[in-house]
Structure 1
Amino acid sequence: MPVQPLLAMRGVSKRFAAVQALLDVELEIRAGEVVALVGDNAAGKSTLVKVISGVGPADKGIIEWQGRAIQIKRPQDAQVLGIATVYQDLAMCDNLDVVGNLFLGQEIHRRGILDEVEMERRTRDLVHTLSIRIPDVRAPLASLSGGQRQAVAITRSLLGTPRLLLLDEPTASLGIEQTNQLLDLIEALRDRGLGVLLISHNMGDIKAVADRIAVLRLGRNNGVFDVNTTSQEQIISSITGAADNAVAHRRTLPEETWP
């Protein structure tokens, strides 16, 4: 029996003035699954993330959450559902420590005073649970590596116990060791039952952690592939449109010459 998707999108479209950014897009993400969203520049990846996160609501289409039709018109709607987003710029403060960044804007108070002890305890618990390598939760963010900063941003998104995590190019500026640590974290999140949508241009990272790959091309679906049964060449052809061009070219030839 098929597992019901955590998030399902049917016929989702989005236009910006004369630009059709998304057209009739379909996407499904299940709990405990990593779906990689790939495509060339201007394929519509960022627009789709904005639709899911409530930053830029869809013009039309159906969005379902655990089988129920819902509307995501603002970021608060996504947060209430259990959707968290970690953007590429991270939006954190270098002068604050790890604890301060995790609870920035959602500080815990006791009798009108910041409860530093409780915030530090919860930070240590999360860092330990996710096996994140951070030297000290009271270390300033500016002293951490790029990979550690990404881990802190992801950890912050987990404070609200989300069900679905959207990651926008999380390894783009990381070295090999830092990337491997972050990919380990993504696998740990999947093992905890979270659905993860991973936007990345790095096919090695995608092959390492994704279960399925959804390709967007010029704002439209251009294939959904199982990582274990699809070659990298097939995926790249779908991203670049080479496969479409090959089919179009074949159709211009006499049928007896088709391969």
Structure 2
Amino acid sequence: MQRLKGKVAVITGGNSGIGLASACLFAKEGAQVIITARRQEVLDEAVRQIGHGAIGIKGDVASLEHHAEVAEQVMARFGALDIYMANAGVITLTPSHKVTPEEFDAQFNINTRGVFFGVQSIAPLLRDGASIILTSSLAATKVLDGHAVYAGSKAAIAAFARHWALELRARRIRVNVLSPGPVDTAIIGKLGVSEEDRPGFEQMMADMIPAGRLGMAEELAQAALYLASSDSSFVNGVELHVDGGMSLV
């Protein structure tokens, strides 16, 4: 059964990790998928992997002009939208006393500003009964070393969701938050963990998770599919932790 048949979905940061896994699954489930990414070559490769007529739009979610372009292309090609997944994000792990203004701004511009103005721009195109999914993080509610700025940038997401769920209720648009725990994606390498140190790092993280392992991008995609589809038709304004139980410890 194609749970998203006939739906149009936009996924920001759909070029890798959770975003790419969600884009692939949404397309397989019948959705017309549009993804965004900052680099054209990466975007092109992701579109190839997704298949099913996926479309890529190059741009930076920190830019209001990019959101306007996404809205314009969706309007011109499809006239309306059913699913918006604000997934693009960046992370830099630095102790608070060493954080630079550039690191602070980079994370808030993408993780927070990008989500807010992305939804503001696309909301007029959402069909009644549409689904908005905001990707946050376990770090927003659990204290982790070096995560202060990243956690702050993600903590705002849940507040956005609660407000939007009420602001958009007349149109029956649902707004929910997907909060992953540690997931086995390329972002681990971006944290400065070398390939040599990666097994030890992954084991350290696994020891902190009741499930005993890191999550997989495909598992987060299944949770995103649930929030995007009619399976969650009575779920609104919630933060869904998909973290193997790590939020409990």
Q: TM (normalized to structure 1)?
A: 0.30
Greater strand proportion: 1
Q: TM-score under structure 2 normalisation?
A: 0.31
Higher relative contact order (CA 8 A, sep 6+): 1
